Amino acid sequence: MISAILVMALGAIVLGAALGYASIRFKVEGDPLVEKIDAVLPQTQCGQCGFPGCKPYATAIAKGEADINQCPPGGEEGIRKLAELLGREVKPLSEEHGVEKPKSAAVIDENLCIGCTLCIQACPVDAIVGAAKQMHTVVERLCTGCELCLPPCPVNCIAMVPIAESVDTWKWRYPVFRMMPKEGKAA
């Protein structure tokens, strides 16, 4: 009995050591460029860019399969940051993927909500809480404003409300003027 336990313990130790060595020896590093691009994207996971989320879009940009101007939630500021990171030219937002809107969050009119759970299933970041046939609500700090909860709602009880700028949400904007070289001087 004791010898069987010792054999099993010894086998577990040997296999554990082999797996530990293999995880260190064959470690796969992620692409650091994809991580940097993903950090610039707004993480709304809205799919407006044509990809299922921000990470797949970042991967496509890094591989050269997608352009940097396909993210409406990131807007002009996001395009500018991506252009700086990748050393590319700044382009206007692609109209085919949407228009830039102010940052907003979903709000559910709880008097109209029928508890169908379709919005919960559509939310990519689990910002909507509730149970079947019960009223639902949105956890505002988790909501990314992706608007994916709007189409499935059968009673149109969800509205997108712009988030007011506060000390926590304010961001520095780039200057709106362009600096032009003086005429008569070579650039």
pLDDT tens for each residue of 40-82: 999 988 889 999 999 999 999 999 999 999 999 988 889 999 9
Give residue-wise pLDDT tens across range 97-127: 888 888 899 999 989 999 999 999 999 999 9
Classify burial at 49, counting beta carbons within 10 Å of its beta carbon; exposed 0-12, middle 13-18, buried 19 or more.
buried
**Does residue 182 have a pLDDT over 90?**
no
Q: Determine contact, residues 72/101, Cβ cutoff 8 Å.
A: yes
The span from the first CA to the last CA of the chain, in angstroms, equals 87
pTM: 0.66
Alpha-carbon distance 124 to 10, whole Å? 45
- In the chain, pLDDT over 70 holds for what percent of residues? 90
Alpha-carbon distance 43 to 83, whole Å? 18
Phi, psi of 124 (to 5 degrees): -75, -15
Instruction: Please name each of the domains of the chain with its CATH number.
Output: 32-97 (1.10.15.40), 102-164 (3.30.70.20)
